[in-house]
C-alpha cells in the first residue's frame, strides 16, 4: 500500500499533529508500507524509508495577533489554502504517475482542500484539534470578542473537508462527540482509533537514582494549566525540601488579564511561587526527544494540568510509556487514557488544591509511584503501542479504499453513511 501523508506540521516544527504524523510514517514503514509525506520546506526531519516532498510555505500570519499569530507562525494554518493549492500542484507533478492508494491529512487547516474533487484517491481525515476548539480555549488571551473572519473561514473549510472525507478518524471518543455536535456530523461517521506511540523508543530505562523532580512538558501557556501547577507546587515545595519542579517547553507571553507579574509565563510562575523556592524551579525551553525520555525516566512524576480541552495527549502517553507516574486533569483525552488510581491519577481541571494533593501523594509514596508507573507502562503496551494501533489504522485504510472503489470511483468523496 502506498500512503501519502499531507501535513504542514512535521518535525522540527509543529505540535501534536507533527508528532503523530512522524510516528505514523515511521510505524507504517516498519510494517512494510510505502509512505510519501508532503510537508513544509523548512528543513523537515528525515525519516528512514519515508519519501519527503517539500512545499514552500505561504505567509499566513498577516492580520493575526498574539497567540493565534504564533500558532500560524508554527505552520499550523492554511488560511485560504494557498499551501493546499501548491501541495496539489506538487502531487500532480511528482506523484500523478505513481500509484498512491490513500491520502491522510489532519482536519486542522483543511490542508487537503484542493484534493477533495480528486476521484482517484480516497481521503482520510484524522481529527486532532480544529480551529473552533483552538479558538474556544485561546480567545480570552487574544482580547478579541469574536472569532476573526479569516478563522471563521478556516473553521468552515475544516468542517467541509471533514464532511467530504471518505473516512473520519478521531483519537478519542471525547473529540468525536464534540465534533459530531459542533459540526452536525453523525457520530457513526467517526472511527475512534487512538494515536500510536513507539513504545520501544519511549520506554523505561535501567534503574537509576531519581532526580527528585516533578516534571512538566508542554508550552508555557494559560490553557495548559501552568499557573494552576505553579500554585499547586507551593505546598509540595514547602513540605519536601529536596524536591524541584522542572518546566520543559516554550516560554509564552503572560496573558494581559492575568493578575500575576511579569511579561512572560516564567515571570508569572515566579510571581506565584514564593521567592525562597525560586532556585527549585527549573526552566528549559527545548530539548531533543532523547532528553525528554531521560527526564521522564528519572523524574518522580509527570504533571499534565491542562485547563482547556485535550483531544488526546501525547504528553500523558509519553510519560506513561517511560514508566513515569502521571497526574493529569479530566479534560477530554486523558480521561480515555488513564484509569484513575490504576495507571495514573486524574483531578478536575482548574483545582490547584486537588492537584497539589495528587502531586504530594506521589512525591511522598514511593510504592504508589512504582505501582502507577508500572501499570501505566502496561497500559501503553496493551492499548497504544505501534504494534497494537497501526494494524487497526492499516485495516481502516484498506476498508476505506475498498468502499471508495465500490461506491465513489465515479464522483466526489461524499460519505454520509456509516463507515
What φ, ψ does residue 78 adopt, rounded to 5°? Answer: -130, 50
What is the pLDDT, as a whole number, of residue 412? 47
Distant-in-sequence, close-in-space partners of 373: CB < 8 Å, separation ≥ 6: 204, 323, 324, 325
Distance CA 212, CA 219 (A): 22
Identify the residue whose cell numbers are 515566579: 270
| Residues 153 and 337: beta-carbon distance below 8 Å | no
Q: Got the DSSP string for 62-97?
A: TT--HHHHHHIIIII--TT-HHHHHHHHHIIIIITT
pLDDT in tens, the chain (419 residues): 999 999 999 998 877 899 899 999 999 999 999 999 999 998 999 999 999 999 998 764 444 444 444 444 444 443 457 899 999 999 988 877 778 999 999 999 999 999 988 778 999 999 998 988 888 766 655 556 677 888 888 899 999 999 999 999 999 999 999 999 999 999 999 999 999 999 999 999 886 666 799 999 999 999 999 999 999 999 999 999 999 999 999 999 988 888 788 899 999 999 999 999 999 999 998 788 889 999 999 999 999 999 989 999 999 999 999 999 999 999 999 999 999 999 999 999 999 999 999 999 999 999 999 999 999 999 999 999 999 999 999 999 999 999 998 875 554 444 444 44
What is the pLDDT, as a whole number, of residue 82? 86
Please write the tens of the pLDDT for every residue from 33-52.
Answer: 999 999 999 899 999 999 99
Distance CA 411, CA 404 (A): 10
Q: Got the DSSP string for 97-147?
A: TS---EEEEESGGGTTGGGTT-TTS-EEEE-S--HHHHHHHHHHHHT-SS-
Separation in Å, CA 338 to CA 18, 89, 174, 233, 322: 23, 43, 14, 22, 15
Distance CA 345, CA 302 (A): 10
Distance CA 253, CA 268 (A): 9
Distant-in-sequence, close-in-space partners of 59: CB < 8 Å, separation ≥ 6: none
| Residues 231 and 419: beta-carbon distance below 8 Å | no
pTM score: 0.87
Please write the tens of the pLDDT for every residue from 336-379.
Answer: 999 999 999 999 999 999 999 999 999 999 999 999 999 999 99
Separation in Å, CA 299 to CA 71, 102, 206, 322, 328: 30, 41, 13, 10, 15
Nearest to 216 by CA among 363, 362, 326, 128: 326
What is the pLDDT, as a whole number, of residue 61? 45
C-alpha cell at 251: 516560554
What is the pLDDT, as a whole number, of residue 147? 78
Amino acid at each position: 500500500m502506498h500512503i501519502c501523508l499531507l501535513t504542514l506540521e512535521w518535525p522540527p516544527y509543529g505540535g501534536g499533529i507533527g508528532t503523530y504524523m512522524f510516528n505514523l510514517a515511521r510505524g507504517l514503514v516498519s510494517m512494510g508500507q510505502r509512505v510519501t509525506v508532503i510537508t513544509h520546506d523548512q528543513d523537515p526531519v528525515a525519516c528512514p524509508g519515508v519519501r519527503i516532498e517539500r512545499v514552500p510555505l505561504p505567509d499566513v500570519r498577516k492580520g493575526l495577533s498574539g497567540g493565534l499569530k504564533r500558532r500560524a507562525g508554527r505552520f499550523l494554518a492554511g488560511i485560504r489554502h494557498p499551501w493546499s493549492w501548491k501541495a496539489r500542484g506538487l502531487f500532480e507533478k511528482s506523484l500523478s504517475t505513481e500509484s498512491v492508494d490513500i491520502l491522510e491529512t489532519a482536519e486542522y487547516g483543511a490542508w487537503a482542500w484542493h484534493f477533495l474533487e480528486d476521484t482517484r484517491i480516497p481521503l482520510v481525515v484524522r481529527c486532532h484539534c480544529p480551529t473552533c476548539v483552538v479558538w474556544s480555549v485561546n480567545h480570552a488571551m487574544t482580547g478579541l470578542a469574536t472569532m476573526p473572519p479569516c478563522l471563521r473561514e478556516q473553521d468552515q473549510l475544516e468542517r467541509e473537508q471533514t464532511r467530504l472525507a471518505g473516512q473520519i478518524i478521531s483519537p478519542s471518543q471525547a473529540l468525536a462527540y464534540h465534533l459530531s455536535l459542533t459540526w452536525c456530523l453523525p457520530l457513526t461517521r467517526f472511527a475512534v482509533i487512538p494515536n500510536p506511540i513507539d513504545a520501544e523508543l519511549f520506554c523505561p530505562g535501567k534503574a537509576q537514582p531519581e532526580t527528585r523532580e516533578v516534571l512538566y512538558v508542554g508550552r508555557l501557556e494559560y490553557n495548559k494549566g501552568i499557573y494552576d501547577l505553579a500554585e499547586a507546587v507551593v505546598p509540595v515545595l514547602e513540605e519536601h525540601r529536596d524536591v524541584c519542579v522542572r518546566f520543559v517547553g516554550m516560554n509564552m507571553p503572560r496573558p494581559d488579564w492575568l493578575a500575576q507579574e511579569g511579561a512572560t509565563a516564567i515571570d508569572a510562575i515566579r510571581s506565584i511561587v514564593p521567592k525562597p523556592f525560586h532556585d527549585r524551579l527549573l526552566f528549559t525551553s527545548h530539548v531533543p526527544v532523547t532528553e525528554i525520555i531521560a527526564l521522564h525516566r528519572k523524574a518522580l512524576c509527570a504533571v499534565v494540568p491542562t485547563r482547556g480541552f485535550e483531544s488526546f495527549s501525547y504528553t500523558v502517553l509519553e510519560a506513561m510509556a517511560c514508566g513515569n507516574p502521571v497526574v493529569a486533569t479530566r479534560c477530554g483525552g486523558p480521561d480515555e487514557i488513564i484509569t484513575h488510581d490504576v495507571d495514573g491519577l486524574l483531578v478536575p481541571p482548574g483545582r490547584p488544591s486537588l492537584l497539589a494533593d495528587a502531586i504530594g501523594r506521589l512525591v511522598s509514596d514511593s510504592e504508589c509511584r512504582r505501582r502507577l508507573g508500572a501499570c501505566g507502562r502496561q497500559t501503553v503496551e496493551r492499548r497504544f503501542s505501534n504494534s497494537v494501533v497501526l494494524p487497526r489504522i492499516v485495516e481502516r485504510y484498506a476498508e476505506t479504499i475498498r468502499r471508495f472503489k465500490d461506491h465513489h470511483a465515479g464522483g466526489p468523496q461524499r460519505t454520509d453513511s456509516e463507515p
